[in-house]
Structure 1
C-alpha cells in the first residue's frame, strides 16, 4: 500500500478562538495544543498526534495518520477537527495547511489481506508504525498521542510470525532509535490539534484510495460508501461476491 512522506514545516497560521452561539450555549472549543504540551517530560521537545480511520469498513485498508509538532513553539492552526465532523470539501482544503504547519507528517495503511492475516488490532498497529516511520524522516517525536483508551501503536513483544517477518524485512542493519513513548486519550481528536490534524490526513488519503478502487469495481459504489457496509454495498456483495479489496475474514453479508 502507498505511504506518504514527511514534510518539513514551512509556515504557521495564527490562532483563532471558539465562537459563541445564540443564547447561553457555547460552541465546542476548537482543538488546541494544551494536552500535547502537558505530555512533554524532561528532555522532550516534539509530540506526534496519531489517529486511525477505516476500522469498521468491510473493504479497503485501515489507515493511520501521524502529525509531528512542537507544541510549545507552534501556533494553533485553525480548522482541523475530528475528520467525521468535517465535510469532504473542508477536509480536502485542510490537507495543504496541515502539511505546511506540521514538522512532519505521514499516512500508513494496512491492506485487507493483512487485516485477514493478523487481525484488525494488529493491522492498525502496522499502519500506525508505517505512518510514524514516514512522519519521523526529519523530526522524530519524543511522545506519540494516540486517540482511544489503549496503546495499539507500540510493537508487541510477541508479534505474529507474519508481523515479525514484516518487521525484520523493514529493519536496517543498524538498530534504530527507541520507540517513542505512547500516551492514550479518549476523544483526543476532539481536544488535541495534532490528533485532529492526523485524522484529517488519514481520512482524505483513505477516501482517495477508495475512489480509485471504485473506478476498478464501480458496482460496489466505493466512491460513495468508502468501503463501509451500506445497503447498496451489501447488495453488490450478494450479487457479485467479495473482491480482493474486501476483508474476507469478516462477516460481509
Structure 2
C-alpha cells in the first residue's frame, strides 16, 4: 500500500478517514479483474477484513508477484471476516457491455457476502447498484486494505480460470497472456478464429468475425 507521504492532499484526507478504527462498521472492499481481456468472464471480489487478524503486505494485485498473490489469496480467505467472489459471463459482457457487466459482477460479489456491510468501498469511479452506503475510490486498491484484498482475490480467481481454459484450448495461450490482446493472442485468433470464450463485442474479435467467410 502506498505511504501517506506519496499521496495528494485530497488522497491523504481520504487516507485518514478510511484508516480510523471502524469497530463493528463492517466495511467491505470491492475490486475486479478482467475488464480488458478479449476472452473470459470479468471477476469481482468483495472482502470484509477482520481488524483483529491483520494481513501484512496487502497491495494492488498488479504490483505483486504471482507467488505473493497466491500466498495472500490463501491468507485473505483464512483471516477475513468474510469474502465473496463473483463473475459476469462472456454472454453478459457482450449483451450489456463490459462496464455494466463489471458493475453486475461487483454487485453479485457484495450480495454474496455472509455479513452485510454497512459501507462498501469500490475501486474506481463508478458504483454498482447496492442496498447500502457506498463510495467509489480512484486507486482504492492502493489506498484501502479491503480493496487491495479484493483485488488479489479477483486477480487470482481470474488467472486460475485462464490456466484451466488453457488446458482445453492450448492453441490460444491463455495461461501466458491471460486473455489480453497480445501479439501472440491476436496471431492465434487469426489462425484459429475465436472460441466460445472470446468476447464477440470486443473489436479485435468482432473484426475477425466480420472478415470470416
Tell whether the structures are fold-level matches, with TM greater than 0.5.
yes
TM-score computed with the length of structure 2 as normaliser: 0.84
SS of the equivalent of 1:129 reads helix
- Give the counterpart of 2:164 among 207, 212, 215: 212
The answer as to 2:71 corresponding to 1:93 is: yes
1:112 corresponding residue in structure 2: 90
1:148 corresponding residue in structure 2: 124
4+ residue runs of structure 1 moved beyond 2 angstroms?
33-40, 73-76
The number of residues matched between the two structures is: 196
Q: What does 1:73-222 correspond to in 2, within 5 Å?
A: 73-74=51-52, 76-135=54-113, 137=114, 139-151=115-127, 153-154=128-129, 179-222=131-174
How far does the alpha carbon of each residue in 1:42-100 deviate from its partner, in whole angstroms, 9 at most, with x for none? x9711000011111110111111110135xx4454202210000111110011121112
How far does the alpha carbon of each residue in 1:11-48 deviate from its partner, in whole angstroms, 9 at most, with x for none? xxxxxxx7xxxxxxx899xxxx85535596xx971100
1:53/1:64 contact within 8 Å kept:
yes
Q: Within 2, Cα distance between the matches of 1:39 and 1:252?
A: 47
Cα distance change, pair 224–50 in 1 and its aligned pair in 2 (3 A): same
Please, which runs of 5 or more residues in structure 1 have no aligned partner? 1-17, 19-25, 156-178
TM-score computed with the length of structure 1 as normaliser: 0.71
SS of the equivalent of 1:96 reads helix
How far does the alpha carbon of each residue in 1:202-243 deviate from its partner, in whole angstroms, 9 at most, with x for none? 000110011111111011100011100111100010011111
SS of the equivalent of 1:252 reads helix
- Give the counterpart of 1:244 among 189, 196, 201: 196
Q: Within 2, Cα distance between the matches of 1:249 and 1:100?
A: 38
1:158 corresponding residue in structure 2: none
Q: Within 1, Cα distance between the matches of 2:19 and 2:58?
A: 18
- Alpha-carbon shift at residue 102 of structure 1 (Å): 1.1
The answer as to 2:27 corresponding to 1:47 is: yes
1:34/1:192 contact within 8 Å kept:
no
Please, which runs of 5 or more residues in structure 2 have no aligned partner? 8-14, 206-213
Cα distance change, pair 35–69 in 1 and its aligned pair in 2 (3 A): farther
1:46/1:143 contact within 8 Å kept:
yes
Q: Within 2, Cα distance between the matches of 1:196 and 1:128?
A: 14
Higher helix share: 2
Root-mean-square deviation (CA, aligned residues, Å) is 2.4
